[in-house]
Amino acid sequence: MKIERWLAPEMIFSDGRLSTNLAAGIQAETVISLSPIKDIPQGAQIDKVNGVLCPGFIDLQVNGAGGLLFNKSPTVATQRQMRKTLHAFGTYGILPTCITDTVEVLENCAAAAIDAKREDGILGIHIEGPHISRERRGTHSAADIRPFDDATRRILRRLRDHDIFTKITIAPEAITPNEISNLVEMGVFVAIGHTAASLDETKAAIDAGARGFTHLFNAMPPIVNRDPGPVIAALNSDAYCGLIGDGIHVNYDVLRVALRAHAHKDRMYFVSDAMPTVGGPDQFDLYDQTIHVKNDRLVNDEGSLAGAHISQRDNVQRAVQYLDVSLEDALKMAIMIPAEILGKPELGSVQNRPLGDLITSDDTFNRIKFLS
C-alpha cells in the first residue's frame, strides 16, 4: 500500500514506547506504518509536527461530563455528549459509569450501554456499586446499597450476552468468592472498591478472580501495620489499580510510594472519575444533594468528595509534574494500560488508526488536539 505522506512529530507514543526520530506513514488518512525518519525515501512528503503524537486517552471511569450525569440521564445521547466533552481534553474513549442507584436506574444504564455498542469511543460500562460497603460508601446513596443479588446478576448476564465490556466494582464483604468466580466466568471484569474488607477477605476476592481495584486508597481503610487491609492486598497482587491523580483524592507523596510499591509496575493506571462539572457548570445534582466545585474539589453537603473535576489530560500533566513519572510512563497509564484492561491493545497504538483517533500535543500537554 502506497504511503501518501509522512507525519514527523518530535516524539511518537505507541504500544507503550515514546520514541524520537520516527515518522508515521499516512494512507487514506490512516497511519499504516512507522519508520525511522532517516529511512524515508528522498522526495517523500514529510509534514513536521511540533510535540507528541499519540493515541487519544482511554478513561475507564466517567460518571459524567458536559453538564450531564450518566445515572440521571442514561441514554446514548448522554454518552455521546460525555465523550464529546472529554474529546476536547484529548480523550478518545470512555467507560460510562453507573454509580449506586435503584435497580431501575441500573437497568436503564445497561440498556443504554447496549444501545451504544457501535458508538465510536463508547467502550462499555462500569457499574460502581450498589454492592459496596455502607461504611466506605463515600458519596454513594446509602439507601440503595445492598448485597449482591439476582437483579444485578441478570443485568450483567444481559450485558455480556450482547458482548458489552462490563466492569463492576464491588466490596468483598458484599459478595461471596464463589459469586465473584461466576462473574469472571461470565466475562465480567471484577474490581474491588468502596470496601472495609480485611487483608484476608480482599485476598480471597483476588484468588476468586477479581482483577482490579477502583480508585485505590479512596473509600478504603487506611494501612495499619497489624491490619493492612485492601490497599496492601492490591499492591502485593497482580491486579490492575486505578488511581485518581489530582493530588486531592490521594496525596502526591502517597501516590509516589504506591507507584514504586506495586508488584507489577504496568498494572497501575489513571482514571478521571469525571463528573458533570468537567466541561460543564460548576455544580450539579446527585441523589438529593447539590455537588459544588470548591477549590478544585467536588464535595457534597456532608463535605465528602463526590467524584473528580479533572480529565485524563490532567492526570498525565500532574504525573509528570508532581509524581516523578516519565512522560512515557504517564502515557502508558492513561492509554496503554486502560486499553489492555479492555482487551483492546490496538487502542494503545497509532498504527492502523484513523488520524481522528490520534492527538498531537506540546510536551506539557497544555495545547492538545485531535488530528481530525
Point out the residues that are catalytic.
273
From the list 210, 135, 131, the residue with the least C-alpha distance to 178 is 210
Beta pairing class for 46-55 and 5-14: parallel
Instruction: For Cα atoms 217, 218, 222, give the angle at the middle one, nearest 5 degrees.
Output: 50
Distances (CA, A) of 235 to 218, 263, 350: 14, 6, 31
**Residue 260, beta-bridge partner list:** none
All cell numbers assigned to 241: 489499580
Question: Could you give the strand order of the β-sheet that contains 166-170, starting from the edge strand earlier in sequence?
Answer: 57-62, 91-99, 125-128, 166-170, 189-192, 212-213, 240-243, 268-270
The C-alpha torsion from 223 through 227 and 232 to 234, rounded to 10°, is -110
**Residue 122, beta-bridge partner list:** 94
Distances (CA, A) of 332 to 12, 50, 129, 366: 13, 21, 27, 18
All cell numbers assigned to 238: 497482580
C-alpha distance across the termini of the chain, in Å: 22
Task: Give yes or no for a contact between 273 and 342, defined as CB atoms under 8 angstroms apart.
Answer: no
